[in-house]
Every structure is written in structure tokens, then in C-alpha cells.
Amino acid sequence: MIPESFRIPLGTWIESGVEWLTDTFEVVFDLIKTVLLALFDAVELVFAGPPWWLVALVLSGIALWAKGWRLAVGALLGFVLVLGVDQWDNAMATLALVVVASTIALAIGVPLGIWAARSDRVSTAVRPVLDFMQTMPAFVYLIPVVVIFLTGPVPGIVATIVFALAPGVRFTELGIRQVDREVVEAGHAFGSPPRRILREIQVPLAMPTIMAGVNQVIMLSLSMVVISGLVGARGLGQPVVSSLGRIDVALGFEAGIAVVILAMYLDRVTAGLSDRSPVARALRATAA
């Protein structure tokens, strides 16, 4: 034990900072809460509003287009299993949370990754922030967002965005930086402006790496959304938390298998979309 006079009250400073933010930007946070809640309700209505079989067929059709008939059949059987264990509504709420959170995380992360790839100063400044976001325990993110946004789906969405943002930035920056410099220089030699080079050369060539980042963002979003059940976010997190509190093995396994099915579906679909990019097809054709 160190003397109290030598103790650094870092936690107290952070707590005071969160309280100051809550009081100073209350109107802004209320606006963010309203917008995120409206987005979540709209997306959840898309997934949970129609009959289950229609949603299952549409999602299986996406799997068919992205990867093939085997994934489509597997997805359809998986969704039937989710329905059979009475977790369909929770699964659709979780899927809505993942879609909203990962879309916002990618909307922030991909442009930031492009900026970091084009500027060493931005990359140097962003890197320690991303390290902090990736190494901080996931449960810690829930504490300040609960103070700011109270309970419900909004703190879960905000915490998920923060938790899942880093891979989108890192993979985008990596993909852009890995593009052959000679190809970029050839674009400059033909008089193409930087924006056109970025849009027509760097981003297409970096797309397989960027899509790997998209996959990671979605997977991290799904894992954090389940943890968000601790703060009242709707979805599969609630039965998981409930089963843990009651030591209900049956409920925990049923909710857990639904999470696994969603994770496998999202992972395979995003991987399939990555394989459909022009660069991926060209690499397969070259290898053949």
C-alpha cells in the first residue's frame, strides 16, 4: 500500500470529466440518443416486423448471392433453429444493433483510415488512441455511456461503436499503404488528381484488406452487443445475462447458439462479399 498522499486520483479525475461532459453537452447527448434510438427502432422494424419466414428467406438470398447455395441452405436451417428455440425476436434485435453500430463505426473508421494512410502525422496521432480503444476491457466502455445515456439500446450502440471502431481504421490504413507505389506513380504520370487515384486505384486495390476490416468490425460489434445486455439493450444479451443470474443452463445455451448462428452468418457473408470484389476475382484468375 502506498501512502494516500502519493496516490494519483486518476479515476476521480475521469469521473469528474464525465460528469462535466454530461452537464455541459446534455442537449447534444439527448440529440444523439434520439437519433440512435430512431435508427435502431427503424432497423429493428425491418428485421422483426415482417413474418419470420420472409426475413429468413431474404437473409438466405443474400447468403446465396454472396457465397453460394451451401451457405444459403445452412443459413436457412440456422434461422429455423433460432426460431425453434424461441430466440427469433431477440436475434433480430441483436442483428439490428449490430447493423446500426457497425455501419456507424465503418462510416467513421474507413475515412479515418484513409486519412491516416495519406498522412503520417495523422497515423502517429491516431495509433495510440486505437491501442487504448482495443486494449481497454469491454465492460469499462459501458460505465461512462450509462452515465451519459442511461440504460437501453443507445448506451449499447455507443459502447459498441467505440469498441469496434479500431479494426476499421487499421485495416483501411494498412490496405491503402500496401498498394504498390509504382501503380500510384503511374496514375500521377498520366495526370490523374489525388482524389481520382484514391477512388479508382488505391481503394479498389485495397478492397480485400478493407473488407477484412469490415468483417472484424462486425464480429466485434456482435460480441459487444451481447455484453450490452448488462445495460438493458434488447437482444440476445438479455437472456444471456438472465441465464447467468439464474444459473439457467438451458436458456444460456439457447441464446448462445443463436449468437453463434448470427456470428457464422455475418462472417461468411462478409467473407463472400470480399471474394466478389474485382481485385479478389483477378487474383483468383491469376492464380488459376
Residue 222 domain-assigned?
Answer: yes
pTM equals 0.87
Residue with cell 489525388: 194
Q: What are the φ/ψ torsions at residue 49 (nearest 5 degrees)? A: -70, -50
pLDDT digits (tens, 9 = 90+) for 73-109: 999 999 999 999 888 998 999 999 999 999 999 999 9
Residue 276 has pLDDT above 70, yes or no: no
Q: In the predicted model, what is the mean pLDDT of residues 20-24?
A: 80
CATH number for the domain including 42?
A: 1.10.3720.10
Residue 153 has pLDDT above 80, yes or no: yes
Query: Contact at 8 Å (CB) between 87 and 255?
Result: yes
Query: Contact at 8 Å (CB) between 203 and 176?
Result: yes
The answer for residues whose C-beta is within 8 angstroms of residue 212's C-beta and 6 or more apart is 171, 274
Residue 25: pLDDT band by 50, 70, 90 thresholds? Answer: confident
Residue 7 domain-assigned?
Answer: no
pLDDT of amino acid 130? 87
Residue 249 has pLDDT above 70, yes or no: yes
pLDDT of amino acid 120? 87
**Which of 103-112, 143-152, 270-279 is least confident?**
270-279
Sign of the torsion angle spanned by Cα atoms 125, 126, 131, 132: positive
**Which of 33-42, 106-115, 178-187, 203-212 is least confident?**
178-187
pLDDT of amino acid 62? 92
pLDDT of amino acid 284? 56
Residue 2 domain-assigned?
Answer: no
Residue 5 domain-assigned?
Answer: no
Residue 224 domain-assigned?
Answer: yes
pLDDT digits (tens, 9 = 90+) for 32-84: 888 988 998 999 999 988 999 999 999 999 999 988 888 899 999 999 999 99
* Mean pLDDT value across the chain: 83
pLDDT of amino acid 3? 64
pLDDT of amino acid 107? 93
Q: What are the φ/ψ torsions at residue 9 (nearest 5 degrees)? A: -80, 55
pLDDT digits (tens, 9 = 90+) for 121-141: 988 998 988 888 878 777 777
Can you give the residue range of the structural domain that contains 20? 13-287
Residue 6 domain-assigned?
Answer: no
Residue 66 domain-assigned?
Answer: yes
pLDDT of amino acid 79? 92
**CA-to-CA distance for 90 and 97, rounded, in angstroms?**
11
pLDDT of amino acid 183? 77
State the total domains in the chain. 1
pLDDT digits (tens, 9 = 90+) for 164-178: 888 889 999 888 888
